[in-house]
Amino acid sequence: MYHAHQAFEPAAAPLDIITKSLYNQLVMTSLDTAFFALSDPTRRAILARLATGDLTVMELAEPFEMSQPAISRHLRVLEEAKLISRRTEGTTRPCRLEADGMHGVEQWLATMRDALSRSFDRLDHVLASMQAETRRAKPARHTRNKTPRKRSTRK
């Protein structure tokens, strides 16, 4: 059944439908998780701090006015989104940025940038066509040939 909010696609083979469905489900779930993780300013600040290098949970918690367990909850969300990873080194658990988690977000953003660029290109074409049509339809301004008036010779 077709719903107005869905894109219309011609009928496809059942295997294609299953493959697309699974792909969309996996990709969209991954994107939803990543965007949810990125939606919080504290988590974005944590990612910015990790961009300078690996940090422990305690080091990450330092500038924030929140408890270590609260920071750990934020880290868990980032880890589930595959934006960071944690490893155990003795008694510490350093965190690091993970490029793989951002890959899906980057691909989605690149797709959106390309679509927007194509949309602007189409708009440029339409505007150029409208300008050309306006120039063709606009009558040329003719200047009347005026004969110079004779000056009166009266004094």
In a domain, 89, yes or no: yes
In a domain, 22, yes or no: yes
Instruction: Mention every residue, 6+ apart, whose C-beta is less than 8 A from residue 34.
Output: 81, 82, 83, 101, 102, 104, 105
3-state secondary structure of 22: helix
In a domain, 61, yes or no: yes
In a domain, 90, yes or no: yes
Cα–chain center distance at 46: 21
Q: Which domain holds residue 57?
A: 14-99
In a domain, 7, yes or no: no
Total domains, the chain: 1
In a domain, 67, yes or no: yes
pTM of the predicted model over 0.75: no
Tens-binned pLDDT, residue by residue, of the chain (155 aa)? 444 445 445 555 555 665 665 566 566 778 889 999 999 999 999 999 999 999 999 999 999 999 989 999 999 999 999 999 998 888 888 999 998 888 888 888 888 898 888 889 899 999 999 888 888 887 656 556 666 666 666 66
Q: What does the buried/exposed string (b/e) look like for 124-135 if buried means 16 or more CB atoms within 10 Å of the residue's CB?
A: eeeeeeeeeeee
What is the CATH number for 66? 1.10.10.10
